[in-house]
Homo-oligomer: A and B are copies of this chain.
């Protein structure tokens, strides 16, 4: 199992023989499949699959796998991604003032719960500089005002390029990222502190308290230009009661936010998430 692996994520219009075609491509080249999972969305007429195989003894050199698979994929009108397990993605964590998700992601990184590098933290506040320093991660304080937003986002984009970042994780960043930014850098995972689509936007715990709900939630999703409306990767909830004031909701919610965001980031980094339309398939 420690051999590096290749993973294909494929979606295409459903038709006969897709499983066989893809499996044959791998088998014919000597690959040993260690994970294969299919899903058919009958309403959408779509076939979606994740297939992972060991590269050891695989006959095709890495650089040829994509082109070779493309020859199969094109007639099927397939969208596909190819990932190698020994490619280590680089993450930028964006925070505001709260440290719980940041601490948690750093701890999980150290505990090797996911394979990635975390070279960069960006914040609109200076508060978490010490945490970054404590773990030896570069911290860039980029304050944002209404007036400076587009200019500051240009700086942020420049930093992402400079640090060669693959994924931005909004770990309670508390700022809306502009459509323009998202179009230039679409790989962003956000944690929203409510059970979406309930309580979109600001102050969801206050709104939850006002509404008198008996359960609160958290939602990790890809960021799109539609606020809090991107494809959901993971959600979880915790029970609250009349004894819980807003502060208790915030405290209980932090435990949710940590674990929901971490699960989403881990699934993404293990190439388990396939987005189609505004939905995700999470291949567990």
Contact = CB atoms under 8 A, between A and B. Distances in A.
A243 B16 CA distance: 20
Contact of A212 (B20, B237, B241, B278): B278
Which one of A26, A42, A213 has the highest number of Cβ atoms from chain B below 10 Å of its Cβ? A213
A27 B20 contact: yes
Q: How many copies does the complex hold?
A: 4
Contacts of A181: none
Nearest to A194: B198
A206 B232 CA distance: 16
Contacts of A235: 213-215
Given A100-B107, A215-B237, A236-B215, A39 B199 contact: no
A236 B236 CA distance: 12
A117 interface: no
A235 B113 CA distance: 24
A240 to B, nearest CB: 10
A17 to B, nearest CB: 4
A18 B27 CA distance: 9
Nearest to A239: B239
18 contacts: A16-B30, A19-B19, A19-B36, A20-B27, A33-B38, A37-B38, A43-B245, A113-B251, A134-B134, A196-B211, A196-B213, A212-B279, A213-B232, A213-B235, A214-B233, A214-B234, A214-B282, A242-B280
